[in-house]
Amino acid sequence: MILFILLAVLFSIMVILVVWVEPVTVDMYIDVPLDSWNLSSEANQ
């Protein structure tokens, strides 16, 4: 029973970490190409 509770706690912590970390990494991956694309388009003008 104790092992089951520990597994449930670990799983919930993993889920919370994924929910917290995923948007940050997605924002970074989206922002970086957009910034570089904006810089290149401004340079072309």
Q: Which sequence spans correspond to the domains of the chain?
A: 1-43
pLDDT at 20: 79
pLDDT reported for residue 4 = 94
pLDDT given at position 6? 95
Which two three-digit tokens encode residue 42?
């401004």
SS3 category, 45: coil
**Residue type for 7, please?**
L
Q: What is the pLDDT of residue 40?
A: 65
Q: Express each pLDDT in 1-45 by its tens digit.
A: 899 999 999 999 998 887 777 766 666 666 666 666 666 666 666
Q: How far is CA 43 from CA 32, 37, 39, 40, in A?
A: 17, 10, 6, 5
3-state secondary structure of 1: coil
